[in-house]
């Protein structure tokens, strides 16, 4: 498996670990003042409340930020040919999968911030091919370098964060009576899904990236 210095991999677990073998005294207790203490955004591996957000929304933001960091590290060295590479007739390209992440986040923005059941008409034009993937996406999502996709992801994320800053933990816990599997689903679950959905496709992206033209031989 390609060693990803950022994503915790099997091989670098030991190399990067200095753990709690020394007991409590060896660890910094951060935050000191309970769960509401905010930590700086540069503390990427500190999951918890963040400045500018209510405590739980900030915790969610820290998860989403961490997850995005991991996804970007999977694709940072890919060129256009690799982003456009089609593994088989039923696969998606890595570029299309990246656009799909932005499309998904946009869909949940509309749903949770505006109460929409589907994209607005404008957004549908913009996002539905990337949302649905498949043959239309294979035909049309190509010819872009990495920056095209990362700029798109960043723009969508900035809108999410701006909307999160206006809301509070009560909003996060608010329940939609019928959503996933037609069951009660809170905003936290919807946004947790947006977050884990990035990891879902990141697993596919990493698998594909090992098989694109120019990939290191012998990767799993």
CB of 11 to its own copies, least distance (A): 8
Tokens of 87: 């593994």
Integer Cα distance of 132 and 135 in angstroms: 9
- Is 72 a binding residue for its own copies by CB under 8 A? The answer is no
Which residue in 52, 136, 203, 214 binds its own copies (CB under 8 A)? 203
Packed helices 94-114 and 187-209: angle between N→C axes, nearest 10 degrees: 180
Positions 131 through 170 that interact with its own copies (CB under 8 A):
131-134, 169-170
Q: Choose the binding region for its own copies from 4-12, 76-84, 140-148, 152-160 (rule: CB under 8 A).
A: 4-12
Binding part of the chain for its own copies, among 54-62, 75-83, 142-150, 155-163 by CB under 8 A, reads 54-62
The answer to whether 127 and 106 are in contact (CB under 8 A) is yes
Give the nearer residue to its own copies in terms of CB position, either 115 or 147.
115
CA quadruple 135, 136, 138, 142: dihedral, nearest 10: 180
- Name 34's Cβ contacts closer than 8 Å, sequence gap at least 6: none
Query: Using CB under 8 A, which of the segments 75-83, 90-98, 139-147, 153-161 binds its own copies?
Result: 90-98
Window of 77-85, 144-152, 156-164, 178-186 that interacts with its own copies by CB under 8 A: 178-186
Told to check if 45 binds its own copies by CB under 8 A, we report: yes
Is 18 a binding residue for its own copies by CB under 8 A? The answer is yes
Neighbours of 62 (CB within 10 A): 21
Residues 6+ apart with CB under 8 A from 177: 184
Q: Which two tokens stand for residue 149?
A: 């996709």
Number of residues that bind its own copies (CB under 8 A): 87
Q: Which tokens sit at 97?
A: 């999968």
The yes or no reply on residue 17 touching its own copies (CB under 8 A) is yes
């Amino acid at each position: 498996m390609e060693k990803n210095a950022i994503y915790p991999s099997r091989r670098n677990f030991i190399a990067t670990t200095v753990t709690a073998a020394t007991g409590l005294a060896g660890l910094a207790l951060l935050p000191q003042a309970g769960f509401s203490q905010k930590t700086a955004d540069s503390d990427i591996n500190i999951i918890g409340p963040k400045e500018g957000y209510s405590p739980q929304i900030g915790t969610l933001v820290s998860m989403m930020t961490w997850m995005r960091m991991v996804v970007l590290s999977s694709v940072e060295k890919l060129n256009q040919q690799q982003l456009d590479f089609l593994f088989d007739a039923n696969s998606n390209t890595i570029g299309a999968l990246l656009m799909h992440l932005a499309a998904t986040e946009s869909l949940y923005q509309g749903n949770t911030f505006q109460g929409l059941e589907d994209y607005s008409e404008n957004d549908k034009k913009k996002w539905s091919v990337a949302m649905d993937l498949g043959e239309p996406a294979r035909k049309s999502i190509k010819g872009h370098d990495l920056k095209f996709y990362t700029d798109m992801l960043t723009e969508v994320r900035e809108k999410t964060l701006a909307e999160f800053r206006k809301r509070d933990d009560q909003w996060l816990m608010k329940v939609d009576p019928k959503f996933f599997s037609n069951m009660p689903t809170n905003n936290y679950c919807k946004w947790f899904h947006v977050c884990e959905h990035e990891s879902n496709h990141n697993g596919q992206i990493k698998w594909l990236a090992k098989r694109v033209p120019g990939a290191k031989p012998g990767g799993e």
